[in-house]
Amino acid sequence: NAGVTQTPKFQVLKTGQSMTLQCAQDMNHNSMYWYRQDPGMGLRLIYYSASEGTTDKGEVPNGYNVSRLNKREFSLRLESAAPSQTSVYFCATLSPAETQYFGPGTRLLVL
Amino acid sequence: GDSVTQMEGPVTLSEEAFLTINCTYTATGYPSLFWYVQYPGEGLQLLLKATKADDKGSNKGFEATYRKETTSFHLEKGSVQVSDSAVYFCALSDSGNEKLTFGTGTRLTIIP
């Protein structure tokens, strides 16, 4: 039982490059989330998905797109990376008991 | 809208000291309240939670009581250990809302 997994663990991009962050869960949870974590700002919600086939914007969606491919997978895409997107990205799910389960994070550096 | 305010860090304590990390909230409904902990290099994990007024959540020696009259959910531990060094996040989930609102986090360092 792996819980929530994220790939890659670490990535360096140049400004303007694109990439997709992958997230998968094996807990059969309906809701999935993408957050970014920056020093002094806590966690900020980028996008979330309440169920397969639905996605909604969070607090900071600009510059990102998401795809809920199926119940297990929720990917985050940066079409044209900017230095302001340097951050640590966390994927999470929500259990029926309102507990969020987080992946280990992806550390992204945009030069 | 909903918001969570927690005490600024960093907090540095000696081993076996008493810990309090303050957390207050603003919510429109009747929220559930949470404390999450993040150890170095890891994602967040649930530490404890309380779903209604006067409930006390507890885990690993940590406690927090849901105080509706003061809109607070302060985290306490009677005797901290070096292994408690981490970042602690207070959060709320408002009734019917699947999104959690997090505080900015408090970094705790325990020195031997």
A17-39: per-residue pLDDT in tens?
A: 999 999 999 999 999 999 999 98
Q: State which H helix or E strand residue B87 sits in.
A: strand B86-93
The pLDDT score that the predictor gives to residue A67 is: 97
Confidence of residue A73 (pLDDT cuts 50, 70, 90): very high
Q: Do A43 and B44 lie within an 8 Å CB cutoff?
A: yes
The pLDDT score that the predictor gives to residue B97 is: 64
The pLDDT score that the predictor gives to residue B96 is: 62
**DSSP-assigned states of every residue in A29-61:** -SEEEEEEEETTTEEEEEEEESSTT--EE-S--
Confidence of residue B94 (pLDDT cuts 50, 70, 90): confident
Which of A10, A32, A43, A95 is the best mutation test for B, with the most CBs of B within 10 A? Answer: A43
* From A4, A41, A94, residue closest to B98, measured CB to CB: A94
Confidence of residue A48 (pLDDT cuts 50, 70, 90): very high
The pLDDT score that the predictor gives to residue A10 is: 96
CB contacts, 8 Å: B100 with chain A: 94, 100
Q: What is the pLDDT of residues B53-63, one digit of tens each?
A: 999 999 999 99
How many pairs of residues across A and B have Cβ atoms under 8 Å apart?
A: 47
The pLDDT score that the predictor gives to residue A85 is: 97
Query: Which is nearest to A62 in space by CA: A42, A82, A41, A43?
Result: A82
Q: Do B43 and A4 lie within an 8 Å CB cutoff?
A: yes
B106 touches A at CB < 8 Å:
no
Rounded CA separation A111/A44 (Å): 22
The pLDDT score that the predictor gives to residue B1 is: 82
**Most confident stretch, A76-80, A97-101, B93-97:** A76-80
The pLDDT score that the predictor gives to residue A41 is: 78
* From A40, A48, A104, residue closest to B43, measured CB to CB: A104
Q: Do B104 and A50 lie within an 8 Å CB cutoff?
A: no
**DSSP-assigned states of every residue in A48-103:** EESSTT--EE-S--TTEEEEE-SSSBEEEEESS--GGG-EEEEEEEE-TTS-EEE-
Confidence of residue A57 (pLDDT cuts 50, 70, 90): very high
Residue A96: HSE in the Cβ half-sphere, 13 Å Cα cutoff: 2
Q: How far B43 CA lies from chain A's nearest CA (Å)?
A: 5
The pLDDT score that the predictor gives to residue B2 is: 87
